[in-house]
Amino acid sequence: MPHDTPLIATIVAGLGLAFVFGALANRFRIPPLVGYLVAGVLVGPNTPGFVADASLANELAEIGVILLMFGVGLHFSLKDLLSVRAIAVPGAVVQIGFATLLGVGLAWLLGWSLGAGLVFGLALSVASTVVLLRAMQERRLIETERGRIAVGWLIVEDLAMVLALVLLPALAGVLGGQPQADDHASLLSLPASYGIWGVVGMTLAKVAAFVAVMLVVGRRVIPWILHYVAHTGSRELFRLSVLAIALGVAFGAAKLFGVSLALGAFFAGMIMSESELSHRAAEESLPLRDAFSVLFFVSVGMLFDPFSLISNGLPILATLAIIVIGKSLAAFVIVIAFRYPIATALMISASLAQIGEFSFILAELGVGLKLLPEQGRDLILAGAILSILLNPLMFLIVDWMKHGWKSVPARPLRPRRQGRSVRRPSRVTWLRWWLLRKRKTARRRGRRSPIIRSWSAMAVSAASWGPR
């Protein structure tokens, strides 16, 4: 009996093609994320053949965003951030600002508004967590100083993007966009007649109220639920409790406090990371998080028009230059300014020379708020695909430069002068060395002259009275 099942068709087509092209990408040592995006392009409306249901794909992508942000919060480590806060915090802030200015400049050249330039620049300023962590793990750099700096830098970027996701809907009207339709009407909703500062203040008050509830109530309730379910011994119930907490907190944050689903999921993961069962929670929720994250990337690929690579060739090259050259150069200069080795600066620059999941979320939010034109979303998607493809090449260039430096012979260095000048050997030292050689020569020839012995004593005594 035939049935019209668009949801099943969308999931099957998305996951099936994502598996095929993800496996091909992995075979050629390319991050599978590129394969997922290509799968989305093939089932999208801009290519011939089967077209998946866009509305269902968007709802699946929302679940993917929730679980993706939940995973980011679950792996958030305040300890790692504080260990490299001296360079990670100012470095990430300056690099985000520099990349955003470059994005605003390119948007101005393309005739876009200031709001579109801000969204576009912010989307180009944040690196992909998935790509960076995988590159660091393949090179065994996670536990090194370079790896800690890169991860701390990435944490600051993620926190900045979470703040941007909170403030952009409130500032959309001022930046020339359209305020987002309130699909999840909150109990703390405010009339729109309070002006920009009133809207921003109310938005921050909602976020503060949500954070306070999570810190006071969530830190006690969530670990208690996990421990209670863990004591039952049911692995199935434990997995279900983790997913219920992630989705429930995200939906409750949007419904009760009017904040984004992504922010609610992030805080749910961050609170859960403080529990002793956080590692088990991460392992149990990983399969479903990965599956819906794949569907999120597929849904993003569905929105990409591959023919824009031809019609927008120069803007795409300019976007790629901002990601690969502009961001890398800014990171390199910042790390060198903090007096770290050149090898560390090159490694961090290469790891940040790409964009990913946060860029897609910001692009979708910008298009939904009528801030970013669809051309901007296409540029972001094209820049993400090309930068991820070029990222392994960036690491190869860094390795080649490091080997090139090691092959150059080092010049002999003079002894450093620390405080006082280096003291030269005294006359007595040189004279004793000369007399010792004379004695060894005399012994070898079988002669022990008393004249040499007496003259040696007189010479040493006289030399000791002279200037040294």
Residue 173, classified by CB atoms within 10 Å of its CB into exposed (0-12), middle (13-18) or buried (19+), is middle
Q: With a threshold of 0.95, does the pTM exceed it?
A: no
pLDDT of 66 > 70? The answer is: yes
Between CA 266 and CA 412 the distance in angstroms is: 54
Which residues of the chain are in CATH 1.20.1530.20 domains?
6-404
| Cβ pair 253, 259 in contact under 8 A | yes
247-258 residue pLDDT tens: 999 999 888 887
CB 80 within 8 A of CB 151: yes
- What per-residue confidence (pLDDT) applies to 333? 93
End-to-end CA gap in the chain: 108
CB atoms within 10 A of CB 37: 24
Question: What is the rounded average pLDDT for all residues in the chain?
Answer: 81
Question: At residue 417, does pLDDT exceed 60?
Answer: no
Chain segment 290-323, per-residue pLDDT in tens: 888 889 889 888 888 888 888 888 999 999 999 9
Which residue, chain included where needed, has tokens 């049911």?
234
Q: Which top CATH class is 6-404?
A: mainly alpha
Residue 238, helix vs strand vs coil: helix
Say how far apart CA 301 and CA 246 lie, in whole Å: 25
Summarize pLDDT for 348-398 with one digit per residue, the tens. 999 899 998 889 889 988 988 889 998 999 999 899 888 988 888 888 888
pLDDT at 369: 87
Q: Both tokens of residue 399?
A: 């390795």
User: Rounded distance, CA 250 to CA 292, Å?
Assistant: 15
Predicted local distance difference test score (pLDDT) of residue 413:
41
Asked if residues 122 and 103 have their Cβ atoms less than 8 Å apart, the reply is: yes
Q: What percent of the chain has a predicted confidence (pLDDT) above 70?
A: 80
- Count the Cβ atoms, other than its own, within 10 Å of residue 101: 16
Lowest-pLDDT choice from 28-42, 283-297, 376-390, 427-441: 427-441
Q: How far apart are CA 323 and CA 326, in angstroms?
A: 6
Name the DSSP letter for residue 188.
Answer: T
pLDDT at 190 over 60: no
